[in-house]
Structure 1
Amino acid sequence: MGFIIIYIVIVLAVVEISVVLMRATGLDKDISRFQVVSLLTSTGFTTKESELISDHPLRRRIGMFLILFGVFSFAVIVSAIANILAPGFRLSYMAVSACSLIAILLIVRTPVMTSYLSSKFNRSMERSFDVHELPIKDVLLLEESDHFAEVPVGPDSAYIGQKMSEVLPSDADLNLLYIKRGTVNVRKEKHDTALEAGDVLYLYGNRHDFDVLFAGEIPDKTSESANKGRK
């Protein structure tokens, strides 16, 4: 019974430490906890939230540790059960490990350490990774006014039949990345293609200009995946 309690303490400590590290990379608390448990148990939920892990270099490293720790833990449980049945097994060794992890957890959860980890991870992202390895928010969302959005063209849209060269004023601080039409991504002729219902516009630029042109058109359809990481 003592082994089970100590082992649960160790697992919970690993989960909480990993959640703190995930949050230090800019991930939301609730998302961090769910994804940490998912990785630790190798359940592999294929949600949009999981892309926040797979698309981020530092979070991927934490995720790999959790996956390996989960697999290793299973082996430890089997081995420990066998040792419990053998003479000479001492819970004191596991108790020391559990206390060490709790001490680490208490340290990393202090405001000073949390601030340090966030700063350290941000510097690591700036120095250690190429642009193509970074998540969208770290490449495009450099200022508070920057915005990235998916804009579905609805069946009643006023923009149906118009070209994006007509929709976007010349002085608008917005860039059309591409138009997604079914399984086709229109890039080369994106500004000269007449819009159809069902098209999805991928836009990047100033949030104010986006609100002026598109917020009333599709008030609840903006992409939130890129903005979650900023919180």
Structure 2
Amino acid sequence: MNLLFLLVYFIIITAVIEIYVVLFRLTGLNLKVSRFQVISLMTGTGFTTEESELILGHPIRRKLATFLILFGAFSLAVIISTISNFLSDDLRMIHIFYIAGGVMLVFGVLKLACIQNLLSKLFHREMKQQMELGDLPIRDVFLTEKNDFLLNLHIYTDSLLVYKTINQLFNDQERPEFIVLFIKRGQSKIRCNIYNEKLQEGDQLLLYGDKEAINKLFQHDIRIMKKKLKNQQPPTAFTGG
């Protein structure tokens, strides 16, 4: 009976994991990242990764994470209790089956497209009510479409952009596919007249726009940056979807 209980309990744990994977995905988190972070939160291991910032910087995900941490702690207590009662008949399997059935029912309901759309709207509405625009994660502000792209482009001596302006390289028909948010030069940020500002070696451009357009227009400079940073910290780039 206890082995059956542990099997059913394992099914419950798996269902809870999948339920929260769905919920995290509805907040805009990637599937693989969602599953890893859910398991990490439940087990208390592996959460200290850079991806954990995607959880901590989002109000809805923080609430979901709080439950998972508590659930993981209580789950361990249940397992210990089960082992200690291994030879007893006190476990009421019918209650366990009810719980398992309820969890599976919740999981089945969450897989419905209409329910997912409803929850997604509720999550975004609550997030907008709780947070100012400046407090929202980058992905929720800039990367709302699949082709949205944010790139921190480093300028080197052999870059096409060095000692030139953006306006000298791209005409008005090309430029609408991207914008330059600012130019970082040392400790300062240049935000005024940035398209006519002569770029220097060591500058960093924060570019935002269509992924294909940016990769095409800046392919030479991106290739140089990747080559220079090959044995260093990888370039900062974010994509939507």
TM over 0.5: yes
- Give the deviation of 1:49 after TM superposition: 3.2
Residue 216 and residue 5 in structure 1: after superposition, are their counterparts in 2 closer, same or farther (change >3 A)? same
> Which moved further from structure 2: 38-47 or 103-112?
38-47
Match of 2:207 in 1: 203
Runs (5+) with no aligned partner, structure 1: none
User: Which amino acid is 1:215 matched to?
Assistant: Q
Counterpart selection for 2:182 from 177, 182, 189 = 177
Counterpart selection for 2:114 from 88, 112, 115 = 112
C-alpha contact 1:151 1:201 (8 A) present in aligned 2: yes
| Cα shift readout 1:41-66 (whole Å, capped 9, x = no counterpart) | 11134444333222222122212221
Q: Secondary structure at the match of 1:44?
A: coil
Match of 2:131 in 1: 129
Runs (5+) with no aligned partner, structure 2: 227-234
Q: Distance in 1 between matches of 2:204 and 2:41?
A: 32
> Which moved further from structure 2: 82-91 or 169-178?
169-178
Work out which structure has the larger RCO, using CA pairs closer than 8 Å and 6 or more positions apart in sequence. Answer: 1
Match of 1:68 in 2: 70
- Give the deviation of 1:215 after TM superposition: 3.5
Match of 1:167 in 2: 166
Match of 2:99 in 1: 97
Q: Secondary structure at the match of 1:119?
A: helix
Match of 1:88 in 2: 90
C-alpha contact 1:9 1:98 (8 A) present in aligned 2: yes
Q: Secondary structure at the match of 2:24?
A: helix
Alignment of 1:15-26 (within 5 A): 15-26=17-28
TM-score (norm 2): 0.74
2:225 is equivalent to residue 217 of structure 1: no
> Which moved further from structure 2: 29-38 or 3-12?
29-38
Match of 1:186 in 2: 188
> Which moved further from structure 2: 60-69 or 15-24?
60-69
Match of 2:229 in 1: none
Match of 2:35 in 1: 33
Count of residues paired in the alignment: 221
Q: Secondary structure at the match of 1:179?
A: strand
C-alpha contact 2:160 2:220 (8 A) present in aligned 1: no
- Give the deviation of 1:95 after TM superposition: 2.1
Match of 2:79 in 1: 77
Residue 207 and residue 11 in structure 1: after superposition, are their counterparts in 2 closer, same or farther (change >3 A)? closer
Residue 49 and residue 81 in structure 1: after superposition, are their counterparts in 2 closer, same or farther (change >3 A)? same
Residue 111 and residue 194 in structure 1: after superposition, are their counterparts in 2 closer, same or farther (change >3 A)? closer
Identity %: 37
> Which moved further from structure 2: 40-49 or 91-100?
40-49
| Cα shift readout 1:41-94 (whole Å, capped 9, x = no counterpart) | 111344443332222221222122212211221122222323444452322222
C-alpha contact 1:180 1:201 (8 A) present in aligned 2: no
- Give the deviation of 1:126 after TM superposition: 2.5
- Give the deviation of 1:201 after TM superposition: 2.7
User: Which amino acid is 2:184 matched to?
Assistant: I
- Give the deviation of 1:176 after TM superposition: 3.3
Q: Distance in 2 between matches of 1:40 and 1:224?
A: 30
User: Which amino acid is 2:15 matched to?
Assistant: A
Q: Secondary structure at the match of 2:150?
A: strand
TM-score (norm 1): 0.77
C-alpha contact 2:182 2:191 (8 A) present in aligned 1: no
RMSD: 3.2
